[in-house]
Structure formats: structure tokens, C-alpha cells
């Protein structure tokens, strides 16, 4: 059975590399025909994963219809582009297994990718692949454990997508898995801002802990199982993203905390997610002080010191 990875960014390419090394039949699709041609010729994604050799067995295409012939399709496009991408290709995705590999909350609707797919591609089988992982680690063959959230029996898909360096743990809680992966990016910006402003590691630990409480509180309000948030897709991803300089969201927070602009040319999903999360949390009546602070910070409505003062001046409460 063939697999298509749609999105030739760093993470999509890394997944395609790992699957191809595991002797799966894999096609990597990218929208830029020139980039795809270069990858086919040089067996390297020079822009996203320089120095990593692409397997010779990996197939490349800029033809979405050709790629979508696969039954299992991994969607590695940015979360804020997913709605339009699904709409543009809905016919091609009928009755396919769509595995979302991006993390975020749709800014237009305030929903996660599962709801978008259910709305736009109702005949598709929906799965979420998420958890603590960096593209470069996967591409280099380093061990990674991820969550595969899928309704119904997950065994066949779990087996199909597991490789020598990617170990998958299954769950039926798609909502919990996708919200954990989305919200941790917002908390990572907060942690980066604290470190960039010189507030120290104790402040970061506090933000991670209280951020995890926010993440769990909101996810449960949306029907998730709290136990899911304590796993790889929640706590595990939070730890990695809030402590590593490889994290785009953490790096963006570092820059903001130091009074600089986030690095250009990199997708920072936590920024639109923060705005979407604040709106969704208000609608749900869910208290999200750290997320509110991040939304205000990235929008330029407050400084790091202002956000810290607001958080510290909140009424004292039990943990």
C-alpha cells in the first residue's frame, strides 16, 4: 500500500525519509515544481534539511492528483493553510485516510484539523500524528515516540506508519491529541519570552506547569480526556518545545523577550494559534491567562514586563 506525504517542508520531508527507509512506497509532494525537481535530481532538500540524503526509493511529484492516488495521505501543510488546501482538493481526498501532521487551531473557525476534515472531506478517515519531535531528529534516524490518534481500530495504520526510529502509540482521542499539539506552541512562546527577558529557568518551569494546566483545562472543556494531555501529545510535546532552541515557537518567544522580531521565513504556528485559542476559550468560558498574555504580546498590545505584572497580580488560589 502506498503512502503520500503532502508538504515538502522540513517535517514532511523528514517523515517521507523515515518511511522510505523503512521500505514503504512513499511519494513526497510539494507545490513548487522547481524545488521538487531539484530534490529528485540532488536527493537533498537543500532549503529545509541541508546535508540529509534523501532515499533513492523516495518518489517526488508536484502533481497533487498523482500523489493523492495513495490511500494513506499525510497532510504536512501549515495548519493555517489546511482549510483552503482541503477545499481545493476535496474530490481527491474522498474515502482516503488523512493523517494530519501539522499543529494548530484554525484562526477562522477556532477548530482543530479533525473538525475541518469532517466538514470538508466527510468520507475521509481522520487521524492525527503528533507528539514531541523535531524534523532534523527524525531525518537523522534518531528515536522518536509519537501519538497516532484515530477513531476505530488503529492497529493497521499504526503498523503502516511506524518505522525503525518512529514508535507510535495509539489513542482514540483525536481532540485531546490535536489540542495538546496546538496549545503547547503558545506556551512555548511564553517560555521563550521569559528566558529572552532574563526571567530565569524557575519562571520557565512555572509557565510550563501552569501552561499545562491551561492546556488540560481547555482540552477537557472541548471533550478531550485529561489522560491524553498527560501523554506524548500533551506533556511530552510541551517539555520538548519549551526547552529546546530547535523549537520555532520557543525561538520566537526568545526574540520577543529580548525586544527583537521573531526570525523571518519560519512558520511559527503558536502566533495564530494564540489568537484562535483566546477567542475559543472565551466562547467556552475557560480561563487562559498565559494564552491571553501571549496573544497580547505577539500582537504588540503589551510588553513582557506588562504580561508578567498581569500574571503575578492575579488573585492567589489553590493549585
Q: 202-252, pLDDT tens digit by residue?
A: 999 999 999 999 999 999 999 999 999 999 999 999 999 999 999 999 999
Return the C-alpha cell found at 231. 501523554
What's the rounded Cα separation, in Å, for the pair 180 and 177?
5
**Is 155 an annotated catalytic residue?**
no
Q: Please list, in sequence order, all residues whose beta carbon lies within 8 angstroms of the beta carbon of residue 195, skipping any fewer than 6 positions away.
A: 201, 204, 253, 254, 257
What's the rounded Cα separation, in Å, for the pair 290 and 284?
16
Q: Is 223 exposed, middle or buried (0-12, 13-18, 19+ CB in 10 A)?
A: exposed
Rounded to the nearest 10 degrees, the angle between the axes of helix 289-298 and helix 174-196 is: 60
Return the C-alpha cell found at 219. 482540552
Q: 5-39, pLDDT tens digit by residue?
A: 999 999 999 999 999 999 999 999 999 999 999 99
What's the rounded Cα separation, in Å, for the pair 268 and 186?
10
Three-class secondary structure of residue 44 per DSSP = strand
Length, in residues, of the chain: 319
What ranges do the domains of the chain cover? Answer: 2-172, 176-312
Query: What pLDDT is recorded for position 1?
Result: 60
Same fold, 2-172 and 176-312: no
Q: Which helix (H) or strand (E) holds 149?
A: strand 144-150
What's the rounded Cα separation, in Å, for the pair 256 and 20?
39
Q: Is 222 exposed, middle or buried (0-12, 13-18, 19+ CB in 10 A)?
A: middle
Q: Which CATH architecture has domain 2-172?
A: 3-Layer(aba) Sandwich (3.40)
Candidates 17, 114, 117, 101; CA nearest to 59 is 17
From the candidates 184, 266, 283, 317, give the one annotated as an active-site residue.
Answer: 184
Question: Whole-model pTM?
Answer: 0.96
Read off φ and ψ for residue 250, nearest 5 degrees: -65, -45
Query: What pLDDT is recorded for position 236?
Result: 98
Q: Is 125 exposed, middle or buried (0-12, 13-18, 19+ CB in 10 A)?
A: middle
CATH number of 176-312: 1.10.1040.10
What's the rounded Cα separation, in Å, for the pair 179 and 191?
18
Query: What pLDDT is recorded for position 263?
Result: 78
Return the C-alpha cell found at 28. 513526497
Low-confidence ranges of the chain (pLDDT < 50): none
Amino acid at each position: 500500500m502506498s503512502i503520500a506525504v503532502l508538504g515538502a517542508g522540513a517535517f514532511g520531508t523528514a517523515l517521507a525519509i523515515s518511511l522510505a527507509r523503512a521500505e514503504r512506497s512513499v511519494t513526497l509532494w510539494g507545490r513548487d515544481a522547481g524545488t521538487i525537481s531539484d530534490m529528485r535530481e540532488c536527493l537533498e532538500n537543500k532549503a529545509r534539511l541541508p546535508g540529509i540524503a534523501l532515499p533513492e526509493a523516495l518518489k517526488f511529484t508536484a502533481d497533487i492528483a498523482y500523489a493523492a492516488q495513495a490511500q494513506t495521505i499525510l497532510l504536512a501543510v501549515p495548519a493555517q493553510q489546511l482549510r483552503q488546501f482541503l477545499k481545493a482538493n476535496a474530490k481527491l481526498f474522498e474515502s482516503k485516510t488523512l493523517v494530519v501532521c501539522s499543529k494548530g487551531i484554525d484562526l477562522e473557525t477556532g477548530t482543530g484539523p479533525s473538525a475541518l476534515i469532517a466538514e470538508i472531506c466527510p468520507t475521509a478517515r481522520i487521524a492525527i500524528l503528533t507528539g514531541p519531535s523535531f524534523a532534523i531528529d527524525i531525518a537523522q534516524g534518531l528515536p522518536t515516540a509519537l501519538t497516532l490518534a484515530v477513531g476505530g481500530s488503529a492497529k493497521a495504520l499504526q503498523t503502516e506508519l511506524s518505522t525503525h526510529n518512529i514508535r507510535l502509540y495509539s489513542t482514540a482521542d483525536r481532540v485531546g491529541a490535536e489540542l495538546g499539539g496546538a496549545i503547547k506552541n503558545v506556551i512555548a512562546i511564553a517560555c521563550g519570552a521569559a528566558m529572552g527577558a532574563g526571567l530565569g529557568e524557575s519562571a520557565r518551569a512555572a509557565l510550563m506547569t501552569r501552561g499545562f494546566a491551561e492546556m488540560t483545562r481547555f482540552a477537557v472543556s472541548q471533550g478531550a480526556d485529561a489522560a491524553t494531555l498527560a501523554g506524548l501529545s500533551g506533556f511530552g510535546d510541551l517539555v520538548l518545545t519549551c526547552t529546546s532552541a530547535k523549537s520555532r515557537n520557543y525561538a520566537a518567544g526568545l526574540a520577543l523577550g529580548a525586544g527583537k522580531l521573531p526570525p523571518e521565513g519560519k512558520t511559527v504556528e503558536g502566533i495564530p494559534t494564540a489568537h484562535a485559542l483566546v477567542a475559543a476559550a472565551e466562547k467556552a468560558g475557560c480561563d487562559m491567562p498565559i494564552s491571553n498574555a501571549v496573544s497580547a504580546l505577539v500582537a504588540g498590545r503589551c510588553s513582557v514586563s506588562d504580561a508578567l505584572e498581569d500574571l503575578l497580580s492575579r488573585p492567589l488560589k489553590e493549585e
